[in-house]
Amino acid sequence: MLKCVVNGSNKLYGDVRVQGSKNASLPILAAAILCEGETVIHNIPDITDIGIMLNLLRELGCKVTEEGKSVIINSMELNCMYVRDELVAQMRSSIIILGALLSRGQDVKISYPGGCSIGLRPIDLHLKALKKLGADIREENGYIFCKATRLKGADISLDFPSVGATENIILASATAEGTCVIRNAAKEPEIIDLQGYLNACGARVSGAGTDTVTVTGVPKLRCSEYTIMADRIAAGTYMAACHMTGGDVFLRGVTREGIGAIYDTMLAAGADMREQRDGLRISSDGRVKPIDKLTTMPYPGFPTDMQPQISTMLCVADGVSIVKETIFENRFRHIVQLLKMGADITTEGNTAIIKGVSHLYGARVYAEDLRAGAALIIAALRAEGQSEIYGVNYILRGYDDIDGTLRALGADIKIVENIKEERASV
């Protein structure tokens, strides 16, 4: 078992190159299944979820070589269409492999995906859309059995702008017969990155970033070389940490456009944000302004993946903030831990009322999901005294060397082995 030990009250200063995007890397790695020959993908983050996806590709028969932050994938010898339960159970995003495998015209068997317990994330939108493309799908004994000899383009309207469903449809229709039109599509920047990769491989995808995406199938995709975008959630996490503690941090490789509503929210909370060549700079004296009402929404709204971090930052704001979570019903699981550190937060259904306090205090706390873990690290950076954060394995699912990155900025933080502590003791 790992724990993260933080001695708080240090300001953050320095330059950090933000890791490659987790949520762009996963569907692009799945898309590599469709390409003939070797495809090279750069700026892949070294995180647990990526390791799971690479192992999944290996088990399917792909040859995978890792060279630093680059991955070389050759799917010519793809020979297995059963995705092992243990891998699927570890990561919700594993369902994205389904559309790519069906594009190869094979029978697929996959169990229901797992991941962080932040709420229901049903995959019915995925299955409904794949059926419309011509896949024969049945569910039996906890498994999904899929068959598709030849997928055909269709006009698909999503009931909700699901990122995963949008990506799965794009992957399934990239080499399908005819044209697929996805209406009410998700607009996230990561979908634009997936479009960029596929088009570099010879696909014909357009409209990513809007609510209508069009995919005209091509007979095959060629190998290519591509660089993953910066991770906007990791960037936002470091911004929240800097504003909460005070300091001056330059985030290399990040753009205002790339982080969307996060930029405007940080401005509203009183941070000094400046666009510069090759990145963004955030400066702060550590004084956080309250936000009257912040509501999580599908892109271009404020991202649910940043809600725990921003809610934590607002714990020390000069006034009352209201945060409403509309995407996942269990996304306030960090709040009970923040209360141990002196935060003043009450919840009413999916709304958190955050009364800013002048001080937070070090405590022993437990992360129960990825972003909650990042939020607790941010709180510990501001808190007086020492904090011990457990559940670090969740954090490592999405952050590449988070302790090393923060330490380089001046934080007193380290992740260490801890074999004696148990969950019940936290």
Contact 179, 214 (CB under 8 A): yes
Beta strands in 112-256 (DSSP E): 136-140, 143-147, 155-157, 179-183, 204-206, 212-216, 221-222, 225-227, 247-252
- Pair of tokens at residue 165: 């469903």
CA–CA distance, 391 with 272 (Å, rounded to integer): 32
Q: Containing H/E element for 109?
A: strand 108-111
Q: Among candidates 7, 128, 27, 2, which has minimal Cα distance to 377?
A: 7
| Strands 63-67, 38-42: pairing kind | unpaired
* Cα separation, 104 vs 106, whole angstroms: 6
Query: How far apart, in whole angstroms, are the C-alpha atoms of residue 214 and residue 174?
Result: 10
**Residue 421 and residue 426: Cα distance in Å, rounded?**
8
Shortest CA distance to 23 belongs to which of 151, 189, 138, 148? Answer: 189
Cα Rg, the chain, nearest whole Å: 21
Catalytic residue annotation: 116
Distance CA 353, CA 199 (A): 45
